Structure 1
Amino acid sequence: MSIKADNLIWKIGTKTVIDGVSFEAEQGKLLGVLGPNGSGKTSLLRLLAGLKRPHAGRVMLDGQELSTFRRRTIAQRVAFIEQHATTNANLKVIDVVKLGRFPHRSMLSGWTREDDTTVNAALERTGMSAKRNDAWHSLSGGEKQRTHVARALAQSPKELILDEPTNHLDVQHQVNLLRLVSSLPMTSIMALHDLNHAAMYCDRLLVMQAGKIVAAGTPEEVLTQRLLSDVFAVDAHIETSPHHDRLHIHFAR
């Protein structure tokens, strides 16, 4: 067990946004979080990353309550990539990725060989080594997202949380980013809109509706015709690909 949510409740005023959510993320696997707009996906991810505090319930990291960790310790352990992550346009790619080392360094410590090794490995893993000296504003949308993933990897996290990282990317960059995240040797939790991408790349899924989890399990267990109709209000035919044991969803015209 890596991250565990135990009966989480979070509100905005009198409105309950997260309503009694409990689950465990399997260590080293990719967990996809699905649901219509307004279902609570982003709020849940921010609770898991320690950016919000629940009104009730607990987030646990390896059996220890998240609220007992120092903010710096959480940043060393958990990397969070926001849906609309921004970066100073005057920075180079290498400078953006170096920001990921900040939680591991004191104000008085100098840049170390370990920092260099970690940053270079993050650039290599995300395919951004050749762009290391390029200006941020010159990058494509896909390159910017890969740079944000590289910055997250430079944190040396055990958990990676991503909020709809494929939004506004073209198909090629969506697929490349999902392949990258699904190949990472760490626990990853990612909110997604595309149901076929979730079926292809996620090991397990949570489906949210009105702040509650309404389904959880493998893609094969979760993505049923009835659920797609009840939660997403779409008619679809679901089949398993003969080439790789994954689902494919055909939406009715």
Structure 2
Amino acid sequence: MSIRAENLVWKIGSKTIVDDVSLIARPGEILGLLGPNGSGKTSLLRLLAGLKRPLAGRITLDGQDIGTIRRRAIAQRVAFIEQHATTNANLKVVDVVKLGRFPHRSMFSGWTSVDDAAVNSALDRTELTAKRNDTWQSLSGGEKQRAHLARALAQSPKELILDEPTNHLDVHHQIGLLRLVSTLGVTSIIALHDLNHAAMFCDRLLVLQAGKVVASGTPEDVLTRELLRDVFSVEAHVSPSPYHAKPHIHFVR
């Protein structure tokens, strides 16, 4: 397995944020993480990325406990795109993407042809090659998100963790970004708010409520009328999409 979490617990003070969570992300699949605000999604993703240590439980990468892996080695294989990822300096797009190569370089190593190849490939896969010399502040919101994804891809990751990457994007850019992630062939764990997007692009789903896992499985198994009512407090009909084999949710007014 690519990423496995077993009985994770994490707290802030006396408040339990992640409560006995277990999951498996299989090689090459997209695992969607769903749940209402405050359900613990972001905290769980930061644990999986090695940015926080659980109070209990364990996380393994290909069977090795993440707690025994050096931080730099984790960064060489796990890329994390935060929900509110920002770039303050008005760098060129190519310079932003180059930041993804830092985990692979030592203090004294120079820039290599391998680094160039990784950056150029990341720009090409995110369709940003033509904008490589544009300044950061000149980009649209969708282009900035693609640039963050390109920076992550420049790390040459085996695992990609994304925290609501479509937040604040228009529908066109939301679908474009998720379609891009779905073509990468990289093990991905992605927190999403849009349930129909989760059904369209994710191989499996895991649903959190108050820090606990309340459902996991394929979109067809997880996205039921009962779960939508009990977890998300919405009434909806769930039926097969006319455009793909995944379920489609029709919300009731």
The answer to whether the 8 A contact 1:89-1:135 is kept is: no
**Equivalent residue, structure 2, for 1:241:** 241
Q: Which runs of 4+ in 1 moved over 2 A?
A: none
Secondary structure at 1:5 match in 2: strand
Q: Distance in 2 between matches of 1:173 and 1:241?
A: 21
Q: Distance in 2 between matches of 1:142 and 1:218?
A: 28
**Equivalent residue, structure 1, for 2:124:** 124
Unaligned runs of 5+ in 1: none
Unaligned runs of 5+ in 2: none
- CA-atom RMSD in angstroms: 0.6
User: How far did 1:11 drift?
Assistant: 0.3
The answer to whether the 8 A contact 1:199-1:219 is kept is: yes
**Equivalent residue, structure 1, for 2:152:** 152
1:74 and 2:63 correspond: no
**Equivalent residue, structure 1, for 2:6:** 6
TM-score normalized by the length of structure 2: 0.99
Aligned residues: 253
The answer to whether the 8 A contact 1:21-1:212 is kept is: yes
Secondary structure at 1:7 match in 2: strand
* Cα deviations by residue, 1:89-131 (Å, 9 ceiling, x for unpaired): 3200000000000000001111001100110000000010000
Identity %, equivalent residues: 75
Q: Distance in 1 between matches of 2:112 and 2:25?
A: 33
Q: Distance in 2 between matches of 1:243 and 1:194?
A: 17
Q: Distance in 1 between matches of 2:241 and 2:196?
A: 12
* Cα deviations by residue, 1:19-51 (Å, 9 ceiling, x for unpaired): 000111111000000000000000000000000
Q: Distance in 1 between matches of 2:145 and 2:235?
A: 32
* Cα deviations by residue, 1:211-250 (Å, 9 ceiling, x for unpaired): 0000000000000000000000000001102442111100
The answer to whether the 8 A contact 1:238-1:248 is kept is: yes
Equivalences for 1:78-227 in 2 at 5 Å?
A: 78-227=78-227
Which AA in structure 2 matches 1:86?
T
* Cα deviations by residue, 1:185-234 (Å, 9 ceiling, x for unpaired): 11000000000000000000000000000000000000000000000000
